[in-house]
């Protein structure tokens, strides 16, 4: 590594809407458009990628609320989207009849605002009112408006909250829990709500009753009503950092009763049960275990637990969903999923498999109906296997509801899993999708990774990757590096803080293994990552430039000395460390790609992408890095979408454009 430079002449690029900064962005965008949009294949590629996103025969995944199945839908005619619903009987049809609840395109046109759908909190169990969340052009901050589900109109004198990173949820028909920006002291250092208030209809928001308060240095405070009929309870809590929290039962007389589990555990109540997922050892159970307690007995001091899941070195819990009488677990073994059904009874819990899943595939429970029935919706897919959606009832079989068509030609392609050996001897799994390179010889390859926040990268079907990369003869690779959750909490914690370099070493090990196995060469190997994965790509640029022929970082985190001062950055201190702490600053300076850029080091060409409306990872990370690379004489392209938020795009047109930029850049550099 080259010496760290603390000189930062580009702080002015952190002014998100500064006149000089936006002028600089416009110049860089024009350069990138000239280099990539003018490519002879760009227009055709973008058209084909837009077709994937706009396809009307996509599976419309739903959420059951009472008698209806709800869906949010975007296509070529509905750019901003439709919030709609249908009945289960209609949903079985190839072309269901949908009732449109809210047309976001029409709303945006009527109000002259670039509204982006950010979800709805529908009041349970009546499903008669909703709190609709709308974002301006894709940011995390939202406005909140109450919506009448019978008249399909906004409630004129209903609950309304101006733009903020608001947390809100129903208590009853006339009361909500809300945390939002109400002036000085109402937000944490991370920019999220610090207080929880009980807000009654018809009263001013600023007069709402304060029921809970977090510390200024916490990430956020929250409140929620468990509205399960017969088990109504109120909970409040605070996120101390990204991985530690406290939860309290809020009694009718306002008393706070701490749910006394480890602060790094995830806990929730379900009917008579308290369910706890461990991130560290507790009560003799290893990290990664899932435990069940009797809720009332636990509050009385009883710590008798039943282990619902116990991990081993190859197995981790990937998800859980309740039906009326059962708990469905999604379990990963070497990053492939299986499903088990657990049933509580007077003699303890029993378990049985739910469905057979093809090897190297992913299966997920997309929805259940925990109030009424044992219904579940199950999605099965793989890298070369389009999604199939099943509906079933536990104990009563299942039916295939929807089958997505293939979006690309997979002839001659296969999926293989391999393991690379990292610098410290750790075996790192990765998926390789593409042609048999033993027959074709080395070819262009694209390596994707994330490696943080316990996020797991599992098999999935992507028509965009298929059309933009695989159909053209490229190999696509997913690296399951440390920092993720593929093998449970220990896999994540192995790359925390000062150990982040292990994630970088794992990714580099996969890159070397691809070359050693004859899949590709360094000149034909590209890498891509976004957000925390953008930090990973920055590390490849400064630590391992000789391994790659091109790099793409999207919404990247790159300045590890100032990240905590930019937008939501303070909330990630638990993942990386605190630059204001003398004990952490040395390793953060060492991890920071922005501070290790040098003129005399050969770097592969880089494409940096961000959004002006990203209010999570500051666009200054990408802007400053592009400016410094340009100053040092390196090849770099930069693209900043004016909207889109942290996702980078808010509609299918923007997404297709961004996808075409990325793959045109990579194909130019890696395939000649």
Give the residue numbers annotated as catalytic, written as ranges: 531, 646
pLDDT in tens, 64-79: 999 999 999 999 999 9
Count of other CB atoms within 10 angstroms of residue 206: 10
- The pLDDT assigned to 469 comes to 98
Write out the two tokens for 176. Answer: 């909500």
Count of other CB atoms within 10 angstroms of residue 312: 11
Are 545 and 604 contacting, i.e. CB atoms less than 8 angstroms apart? yes
Domain-located, residue 276: no
Of 412, 601, 442, the C-alpha closest to 517 is: 442
Domain-located, residue 454: yes
DSSP string covering 238-269:
EESSSS-EEEEEE-TTS-EEE--S-TTSEEEE
Are 209 and 197 contacting, i.e. CB atoms less than 8 angstroms apart? yes
Helix (H) or strand (E) holding 434: strand 427-434
At a CB cut-off of 8 Å and minimum separation 6, what does 425 contact? none
Domain-located, residue 190: no
Write out the two tokens for 67. Answer: 């008698």
Domain-located, residue 209: no
Are 368 and 318 contacting, i.e. CB atoms less than 8 angstroms apart? no
Look at 24-33, 312-321, 355-364, 499-508 and tell me which has the smallest mean pLDDT. 355-364
Write out the two tokens for 615. Answer: 């209010």
Domain-located, residue 400: no
Q: 217 in helix, strand or coil?
A: coil
Q: Angle at Cα 659 formed by Cα 636 and Cα 21, nearest 5°?
A: 45
Unique residue bearing structure tokens 């750790």: 426
How far apart are the C-alpha atoms of 398 and 376, rounded to whole Å?
9
pLDDT in tens, 548-585: 999 999 999 999 999 999 999 999 999 999 999 999 99
Q: What is the residue-averaged pLDDT of the chain? A: 96
Count of other CB atoms within 10 angstroms of residue 90: 15
Of 557, 553, 582, the C-alpha closest to 571 is: 557
pLDDT at 358 over 90: no
Unique residue bearing structure tokens 């379990």: 331
pLDDT at 261 over 60: yes
Residues in the chain: 672
Are 639 and 68 contacting, i.e. CB atoms less than 8 angstroms apart? no
pLDDT-derived band at 650, boundaries 50, 70, 90: confident
- The pLDDT assigned to 359 comes to 75
pLDDT in tens, 584-613: 999 999 999 999 999 999 999 999 999 999
pLDDT in tens, 447-477: 999 999 999 999 999 999 999 999 999 999 9
Burial of 40 from C-beta contacts in 10 A (0-12 / 13-18 / 19+): exposed
- The pLDDT assigned to 415 comes to 97
Are 598 and 544 contacting, i.e. CB atoms less than 8 angstroms apart? no
Write out the two tokens for 487. Answer: 């093998």
Residues of the chain above pLDDT 90, percent: 95
Question: What would the mean pLDDT of 518-545 be, rounded to a whole number?
Answer: 98
Within 13 Å, how many C-alpha atoms sit on residue 138's CB side?
Answer: 20
How far apart are the C-alpha atoms of 556 and 537, rounded to whole Å?
8
pLDDT in tens, 423-445: 999 999 999 999 999 999 999 99
Domain-located, residue 222: no
Residue 563, domain CATH? 3.40.50.1820
Q: Angle at Cα 613 formed by Cα 533 and Cα 609, nearest 5°?
A: 40
Are 524 and 514 contacting, i.e. CB atoms less than 8 angstroms apart? no
Domain-located, residue 322: no
DSSP character at residue 615: S
Write out the two tokens for 255. Answer: 């008393």
- The pLDDT assigned to 151 comes to 98
Are 633 and 599 contacting, i.e. CB atoms less than 8 angstroms apart? yes
pTM for this predicted structure: 0.94
pLDDT-derived band at 514, boundaries 50, 70, 90: very high
By residue range, what is the domain housing residue 564? Answer: 408-671
Question: What would the mean pLDDT of 613-622 be, rounded to a whole number?
Answer: 96
Of 599, 627, 431, 366, the C-alpha closest to 640 is: 627
User: How many domains does the chain divide into?
Assistant: 1
pLDDT at 1 over 70: no
Q: Is the peptide bond before 37 cis (omega within 30 degrees of 0)?
A: no
Are 604 and 550 contacting, i.e. CB atoms less than 8 angstroms apart? yes
């Amino acid at each position: 590594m080259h010496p760290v430079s603390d000189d930062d002449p580009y702080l002015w690029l952190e002014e998100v809407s500064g006149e000089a900064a936006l002028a600089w962005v416009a110049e860089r965008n024009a350069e990138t458009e000239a280099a990539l949009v003018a490519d002879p294949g760009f227009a055709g590629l973008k058209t084909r990628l837009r077709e994937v996103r706009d396809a009307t025969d996509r599976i419309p995944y739903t959420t059951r609320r009472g008698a209806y199945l709800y869906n949010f839908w975007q296509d070529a005619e509905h750019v901003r989207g439709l919030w709609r619903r249908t009945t289960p009987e209609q949903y079985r049809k190839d072309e269901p009849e949908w009732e449109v609840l809210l047309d976001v395109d029409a709303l945006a046109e009527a109000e002259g605002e670039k509204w982006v759908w950010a979800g709805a909190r529908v009041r349970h169990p009546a499903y008669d009112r909703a709190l609709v969340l709308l974002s301006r052009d894709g940011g995390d901050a939202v406005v909140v408006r109450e919506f009448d589900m019978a008249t399909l109109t906004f409630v004129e004198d209903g609950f309304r909250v101006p733009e903020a990173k608001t947390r809100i949820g129903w208590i009853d028909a006339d009361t909500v829990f809300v945390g939002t920006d109400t002036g000085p002291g109402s937000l944490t250092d991370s920019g999220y709500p610090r207080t929880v208030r009980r807000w009654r209809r018809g009263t001013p928001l600023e007069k709402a009753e304060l029921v809970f308060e977090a510390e200024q240095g916490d990430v956020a405070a929250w409140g929620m009503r468990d509205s399960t009929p017969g088990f109504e309870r109120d909970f409040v809590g605070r996120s101390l950092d990204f991985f530690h929290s406290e939860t309290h039962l809020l009694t009718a007389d306002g008393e706070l009763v701490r749910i006394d589990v480890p602060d790094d555990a995830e806990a929730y109540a379900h009917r008579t049960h308290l369910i706890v997922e461990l991130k560290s050892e507790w009560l003799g159970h290893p990290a990664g275990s899932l435990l069940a307690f009797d809720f009332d007995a636990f509050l009385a001091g009883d710590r008798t637990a039943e282990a619902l899941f116990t991990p081993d070195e190859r197995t981790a819990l990937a998800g859980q969903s309740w039906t009326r009488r059962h708990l469905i677990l999604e379990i990963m073994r070497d990053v492939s999923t299986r499903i088990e059904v657990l049933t509580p009874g007077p003699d303890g819990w029993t378990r049985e498999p739910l469905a057979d899943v093809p090897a190297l595939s992913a299966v997920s429970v997309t929805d259940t109906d925990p109030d009424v029935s044992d219904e579940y919706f199950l999605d099965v897919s793989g890298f070369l296997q389009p999604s199939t959606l099943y509906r079933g009832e536990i104990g009563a079989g299942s039916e295939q509801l929807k089958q997505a068509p293939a979006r690309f030609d997979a002839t001659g392609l296969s999926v293989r899993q391999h393991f690379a050996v990292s610098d410290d001897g750790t075996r790192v799994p990765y998926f390789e999708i593409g042609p048999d390179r033993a027959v074709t010889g080395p070819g262009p390859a694209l390596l994707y990774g994330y490696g943080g926040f316990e996020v797991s990268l599992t098999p999935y079907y992507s028509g965009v990757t298929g059309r933009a990369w695989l159909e053209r003869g490229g190999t696509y690779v997913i690296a399951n590096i440390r920092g993720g959750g593929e093998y449970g909490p220990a896999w994540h914690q192995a790359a925390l803080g000062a150990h982040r370099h292990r994630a970088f070493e794992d990714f580099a090990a996969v890159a070397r293994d691809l070359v050693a196995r004859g899949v590709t060469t360094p000149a034909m190997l590209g890498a891509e990552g976004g957000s925390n994965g953008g930090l990973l790509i920055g590390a490849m640029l400064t630590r391992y430039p000789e391994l790659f022929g091109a790099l793409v970082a999207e919404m990247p985190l790159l300045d590890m000395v100032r990240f905590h001062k930019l937008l939501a950055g303070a909330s990630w201190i638990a993942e990386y460390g605190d630059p204001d702490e003398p004990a952490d600053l040395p390793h953060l300076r060492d991890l920071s790609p922005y501070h290790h850029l040098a003129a005399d080091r050969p770097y592969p060409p880089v494409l940096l992408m961000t959004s002006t409306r990203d209010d999570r990872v500051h666009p200054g990370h990408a802007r400053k890095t592009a400016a410094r690379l340009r100053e040092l004489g390196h090849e770099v392209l930069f693209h900043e979408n004016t909207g889109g938020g942290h996702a980078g795009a808010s509609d299918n047109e923007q997404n297709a454009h961004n996808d075409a930029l990325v793959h045109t850049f990579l194909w130019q550099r890696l395939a000649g």
